[in-house]
Every structure is written in structure tokens, then in C-alpha cells.
Amino acid sequence: MSKKQKKVVEIRTSPHLKKAISVEQIMRNVVYALLPVCGWSVFQFGISAFALILVTTLTCILTESLFCKLSGRPNSVGDYSVVITALLLALTLPPGFPLWMAVVAGFIAIGLGKSLFGGLGFNVMNPALIGRAFVQAAFPVAITTWTPGFVTGRFVEFIPSSLALPFMSPVNTDVWVKQHALDGFTGATPLALQKFEHVTVDTIDLLTGMVAGSAGETSALLIFVCGLYLAFRKMMDWRIPLSIFVGVTLISLPLYLMNSTLYPSPLFMMLSGGLMLGAMFMATDMVVSPMTAKGVWLYGLVIGLLTVLIRLFGGLTEGVMYAILVANALSPLIASVTQPKIYGAQKQEAES
């Protein structure tokens, strides 16, 4: 057989793709999975939620284009990753979050959380959470101001705080809420009610989204179903959300059994707040999560454990954001210590 007829076999490191699928295809499907969550957010909170999603999306796209131009890189807006960051950022913010603050969050998410590290594939933490963490530190009052859903006139009238002017005192929405909120609906989130008043919201309300919270975290069932779509398409590692739920159960179940009045059940922990959104769409970020089989389990357990610890014993009612960011930082170490041994390799002897 001549040299021209010989076939070249290339041996490369994992991951090994079993089917031809591009980054753009994966990112586009993630966007598809997030659209129903965005739709429910708009249905629940009206034009304020729609404006919030629109503003963060436009800001992230413009910021991505700007940084690509400044760095001399090809414009990467077409790979849909920037849209995912924008949607996730909007869904983690209060529905009445001032729109000018959303612009700041979007700029930081892309500029500091992604472009500074070199763009897609080089960021060390989830960009959307970087943006939210920044505005939580910069605007603590606005980021913890909640409004109930399904208010009358939500499709023709903004939540007053949405249109607050830059650097002005946050708009007091209490009077507006009293005038527009339906009977029985409150602006307090399920986590706040449990932490400070030891009142547990019904599971059905947590599943269906009949509660207050961030723009896209209210309906746990909808988020779970949308995440399953990605799992069945093999575009999301199902072991990560499962290990997060296991981690939540391992620490919250013993506490619940000891004192069910003071500590909520594992089911409440999994369905309330931003845990479902974080587990399905943020912790599963392929860039910042480990790739080893054991690593993804350890990574998810860390997120679950930290979330419960922050919620129950920290000063904040929610802990998902910080738990995921800490796990992102630990991801390289987790991947290193869980790296499988190469077949046939022997441990090097120490030099004498």
C-alpha cells in the first residue's frame, strides 16, 4: 500500500463527540429552552419584565460587539452565547429592577465576566451571575425589592421602579402595589417568608409560579421541563442538577427532621428561589463546569451544600448565585483531583 493510500488515525484527548454538533446549535437550543421561561415571566409581571429582558439583551449584544471590535476578534454575537447570558441575567433580576441598572448589569456581565477573559470558552465563571453579583453589591436596595405578579394593568403599565432615573433614590412602589395587587398576593418571596416568619409556601404555588421572586425563577415546574428538553437532546449534563438536588437533600433533610418548624423541607429548598434555574441553566454551563465523571458529581454537591448553608445560616435569603460562583472557581481543582488515571500509566517514582 502506498503512502497516499494509508489512512491517518488521530488520537486526541476527550471530550470525544459522538455526533456532529456545533457550538451554535447547542447555544441556539439553550435559547429555545429559555424562551418559555421568558414568556411566563412576561405573562406574570407584564411589560416591566418584557422591557427588562429586552434591555439586558440589547446591552449584552452591543457590549459583545464593542469588545470584539476593540480586541480585534471576529464578532461572536452570532453564536447565541451572548443571548443566553442576557436572558439568564434578566431572569435573575427582580421584575421591577430599574432599567438603567439592568444596562449596568449587562455591560459588566459581558465586559467583566466574559470579554476580559478572551470571550466564549475562556470565562472562568458564569457571566450572567457575574453581572448579577455586581449589581447586588452596587444596588442592594433595588436588587431586594420585589413586587407581586399578576397585578392589574401589568400589560399597559410599568412597575414604577422600572423607570427610575439613574442615581436617583429608588422609587417607592408600596402604594402602587396596594392599588394593583390581587388579594392574597404579596411581594415577599417564599424564601423571605420562611427565613423571617417561618411560613412555608404551598408546593403547588412553587411549582406553578404563583409567588413573588426574580423575573424568571417563580415556576419551578416550567424551568424543570425546559431543562429536561436540553437533557434529552444531550445538550446538558443531567448529572449536575441531579447532584445539586442530592446535595440540598443531604444537608436539609436532617435539619428538617430535627425541627420542621425552623427548617424547611428539601422539596421546598429545591422548588423555591433560584435553585431550579441555577441548577438547570447556570451550573450546567459547559465552560465553567468540570468534565470528569466524578468531577460533575462533586461540583453539584458543592453547589447544593453551599446553597442550603447560605440560605439557612447566612445573612441572605438566597445563596444559589454565590454557591455557583464558588463552584465555578473550584471547577479546575475539582477536574484536576478527579482526573481518571490513564490506562497503563504508572506513578513516577520520586527522585532520589
pTM of the model as a whole: 0.89
CA-wise closest residue to 83 among 122, 18, 45, 38 = 38
Which residue has 471547577 as its cell numbers?
331
Which residues make Cβ contacts (< 8 Å) with residue 95, sequence separation at least 6?
A: 41, 44, 45, 48, 49, 52, 147, 149, 159, 214, 215
Kindly tell me if the per-residue pLDDT of 19 is higher than 80. no
Q: How far apart are CA 181 and CA 152, in angstroms?
A: 7
CA-wise closest residue to 214 among 36, 94, 86, 35 = 94
Q: What pLDDT is attached to residue 339?
A: 86
Answer whether the bond into residue 254 is a cis peptide, omega within 30°.
no
Residue 201 CA: distances (Å) to CA of 66, 91, 248, 265, 328: 44, 21, 18, 11, 31
Q: Which of the pair, 104 or 347, is modelled with greater confidence?
A: 104
What would the mean pLDDT of 159-187 be, rounded to a whole number?
71
Cell of 131: 453581572
Q: What pLDDT is attached to residue 129?
A: 96
Q: Where are the alpha helices (DSSP H) in 92-214?
A: 99-111, 127-138, 140-143, 174-180, 190-197, 203-208
Q: What pLDDT is attached to residue 148?
A: 85
What would the mean pLDDT of 74-87 be, rounded to a whole number?
89
Longest dimension (CA), the chain: 86
Q: What pLDDT is attached to residue 171?
A: 63
- 285-304 pLDDT, tens digit per residue, is 988 899 888 999 999 999 99
Which residues make Cβ contacts (< 8 Å) with residue 338, sequence separation at least 6?
A: 290, 292, 293, 294, 295, 298
What would the mean pLDDT of 39-51 be, rounded to a whole number?
96
What would the mean pLDDT of 148-165 be, rounded to a whole number?
88
Range from 18-32, 51-65, 102-116, 209-223 carrying the lowest mean pLDDT: 18-32
Range from 27-31, 38-42, 102-106, 209-213 carrying the lowest mean pLDDT: 209-213
Q: What pLDDT is attached to residue 315?
A: 87
What would the mean pLDDT of 97-112 be, rounded to a whole number?
95
Q: Which of the pair, 226 or 123, is modelled with greater confidence?
A: 226
Mean pLDDT of the chain: 87
Q: How far apart are CA 125 and CA 134, in angstroms?
A: 13
How many CB atoms are closer than 10 A to CB 65? 15
Q: What pLDDT is attached to residue 143?
A: 92
CA-wise closest residue to 101 among 77, 131, 75 = 131
Q: What pLDDT is attached to residue 17?
A: 53
Q: Is 123 helix (H, G, I), strand (E, B) or coil?
A: coil
Domains plus CATH for the chain? 22-337 (1.10.3430)
Q: What pLDDT is attached to residue 179?
A: 64
Residue 114 CA: distances (Å) to CA of 8, 36, 117, 129, 299: 37, 26, 6, 11, 21
- 252-287 pLDDT, tens digit per residue, is 999 999 999 899 999 999 999 999 999 999 999 988
Q: How far apart are CA 320 and CA 248, in angstroms?
A: 11
Residue 218 CA: distances (Å) to CA of 203, 204, 224, 277: 12, 11, 11, 9
Q: What pLDDT is attached to residue 14?
A: 47
How many CB atoms are closer than 10 A to CB 340? 10
Q: What pLDDT is attached to residue 268?
A: 96
Q: Which of the pair, 188 or 315, is modelled with greater confidence?
A: 315
Cell of 338: 478527579
Q: How far apart are CA 128 and CA 106, in angstroms?
A: 8
